[in-house]
Structure 1
């Protein structure tokens, strides 16, 4: 299992940034931390696009760097880095658990999640999708839980496998949880590979974040470019014009220069295509 953890200084800085006081490792505290995370830290690909361009070899942002950039530049990440960083925070706060690497449909090993153990019960935590609720895992029982934004179902599906479902959502099956611990070496290797040739979300800027209690998204792959807001399954689009990179950065609280560079890098790649 992973032993990754934040030091006391960074732990205190992260808690202050999230606006959550330290307390005992309980389910209510875990739920408070997750809610603070998804309202503060975006799911985003801009920083990894720039990171890949600036390094000669795959160089992930490990938890210390991930949190430093989140606190100083408004960054977030995709699932491998986000869940590793969130798990490091949880372990520094006394939570026990492990990391998992999971499947999404036919895509194998493409998504990560956290399992936390509390009083003999397993709880699924995912800062890298994110899941907007902490979900109980029960091997012989279908479990349902609600969040402010989606309803969830955890459905056992064979040995150590669970289908994680959400509604209302155009893609109801979120992922297949494979409830088997992944150690640091394997997790770090997979995270590094995700910056390589077949890495995900290195070819388009996508940002998701809860802003003023509403889910917002920008997806560069969808033209014309729009901001999307979601209201219990209903999507509302907002047209964008002018300097879209700056508008995206300002809307989601990301450092403008990084988002602008990500847009330029992708535009340059597009121009080079035959």
Structure 2
């Protein structure tokens, strides 16, 4: 096995995974751990932009350091670009793919004997605990509780696949699509990344945190001041958080992310005219 740079060793330590040779089982272990350790969140994005005037994706080394210091994860660009960098250091081959110019996911190549690519995604707030064999098993559904995603062949294009998000077995979105034969690097997403930092962009005008806790058979999903606790058996419980103190308590006691600077994120949103505690219209 090849020697790893320091950030990769720290990354694996955060994941609680030991280095070993690339294999489908190892990739599965990495995917499963990533969704439980690194949250899908926009707190880091809010603070990057409003506090540090940054509008770029952190490097993998910065990504790991931010996780250690602040319990950060990120949205799709940060999570998946860093995860791909780690996978490459571990000896996997692969690249990013663009989903409708709104999302970046990972395709891993050369791992299976038949040459089939595997879809990996640590940045969609979706239950991709396994690498998905989307070409040979198009009926496979990645699911957890009421949430599910299927990577289905696009009926309008034989070279394209659709990201079909479902809830309680009903389709809620299939606007994302990707072409496996169009490899991308994070630099190819520069325009999309810049758009994501424009005033009024989705993740500059709301609070969003999602994390899986498989040892407790649940996932946690925060949208502004609404906390959803979703059980693996499909049961759901919504808690409306009324104050910053209640929000901080939920981040510490439920998400177990005590270093996440949630109060600062709320203050940043308020300065931009977004009060996450305002009643929904």
Task: Give the TM-score range, shorter chain.
Answer: 0.7 to 0.9
CA pair 172-26 structure 1, distance change in 2 beyond 3 A: farther
**Could you tell me how far apart the structure 2 residues matched to 1:271 and 1:218 are?**
16
TM-score, with structure 2 as normaliser:
0.81
How far did residue 246 of structure 1 move?
1.4
**Count of residues paired in the alignment:** 257
1:113 and 2:95 equivalent? no
Matched with 1:229 is: 229
Preserved CA contact (<8 Å) 1:60 1:192: no
2:262 alignment counterpart: 259
Gaps of 5+ in 2: 276-281
Higher relative contact order (CA 8 A, sep 6+): 1
Q: 1:269 aligns with which of 260, 272, 275?
A: 272
Whole-Å Cα distance in 1 between the matches of residues 198 and 66 of structure 2?
A: 21
* Equivalences for residues 1-274 of structure 1 within 5 A: 8-56=5-53, 58-103=55-100, 109-117=101-109, 118-119=111-112, 120-129=115-124, 130=126, 131-138=128-135, 142-149=138-145, 150-157=147-154, 158-169=157-168, 171-173=171-173, 175-179=176-180, 180-197=182-199, 199-211=201-213, 212-220=216-224, 225-231=225-231, 232-242=233-243, 243-250=245-252, 251-254=254-257, 256=259, 258-270=261-273
Partner SS, residue 97 of structure 2? strand
For structure 1, which segment, 154-163 or 37-46, has the greater mean C-alpha deviation from structure 2 after superposition? Answer: 154-163
Query: 1:207, 1:217 within 8 Å by CA — same for their partners in 2?
Result: yes
RMSD: 2.6
Indicate conservation of the 8 Å contact 1:163/1:173, yes or no.
no
Q: Is the CA contact 2:48–2:54 (under 8 Å) kept in the aligned structure 1?
A: no
Deviation at 1:23, TM superposition (A): 1.0
Superposition deviation, residue 11 in structure 1: 1.0
Q: Which SS does the other structure have where 1:137 is aligned?
A: coil
Contact 1:58 1:193 in 2 (8 A): no
In structure 2, do the counterparts of structure 1 residues 167 and 247 end up closer, same or farther at CA, with 3 Å as the change threshold?
A: same
Secondary structure of residue in 1 paired with 2:19:
coil
What SS does the aligned partner of 1:160 have? strand
Aligned in 2, Cα 1:196/1:239: closer, same or farther, shift over 3 Å? closer
1:145 to partner: Cα distance: 4.2
Matched position secondary structure for 1:101? strand
Q: 1:3 maps to what in 2? A: none
In structure 1, how many angstroms separate the alpha carbons of the residues matched to 2:53 and 2:11? Answer: 30
Cα deviation digits, residues 58-93 of structure 1 (max 9, x gap):
233222211111122111111111110111111111
Structure 1 residues 265 and 153, CA, compared in 2 at 3 Å: closer, same or farther?
closer
